[in-house]
Amino acid sequence: MPSTTVTVGSAVGLHARPAAIISEAAGDLDSEVYLAVAGDEPVEASSALLIMTLGAGNGDQVEVSGDSQADVDLIAALVAKDLDA
């Protein structure tokens, strides 16, 4: 399963607005993508609520994994971007 680790770029972390943007993009994909912080179980990237439960703040490391490298790269790019700007 392809995976990559990225740093959360949003100033407020993975909270409401960034989580909504990421989950909408993940929901449009043809494969499942998961997000995880160290020591916790992965959550589906297509669920804004589950993304918010990660508690990932700005600068935290998040592992993005899934069945498709292209889909993992797409979601990882969103996690790394400041989606509050």
The label of the residue with tokens 């997000």 reads 35
pLDDT tens readout for residues 46-68: 999 999 999 999 999 999 999 99
Judge whether residue 85 has pLDDT over 80.
Answer: no
pLDDT tens readout for residues 10-34: 999 999 999 999 999 999 999 999 9
Starting at the edge strand found earlier in the chain, the sheet holding 61-66 runs 3-7, 61-66, 33-36, 43-44
pLDDT of residue 11: 93
Asked whether residue 14 is assigned to any structural domain, the reply reads yes
Asked whether residue 73 is assigned to any structural domain, the reply reads yes
pLDDT of residue 84: 82
Asked whether residue 15 is assigned to any structural domain, the reply reads yes
Asked whether residue 59 is assigned to any structural domain, the reply reads yes
Range of the structural domain that residue 25 is part of: 3-80
Name the pairing type of β-strands 61-66 and 33-36: antiparallel
d(CA 9, CA 83): 8
Tokens encoding 69: 């490298």
pLDDT band at 2 (very low <50, low <70, confident <90, very high): very high
Asked whether residue 85 is assigned to any structural domain, the reply reads no
Instruction: State how many domains the chain has.
Output: 1
Asked whether residue 37 is assigned to any structural domain, the reply reads yes
CB within 8 Å of 16: residues ≥ 6 apart? 48, 52
CATH number, domain with residue 52: 3.30.1340.10
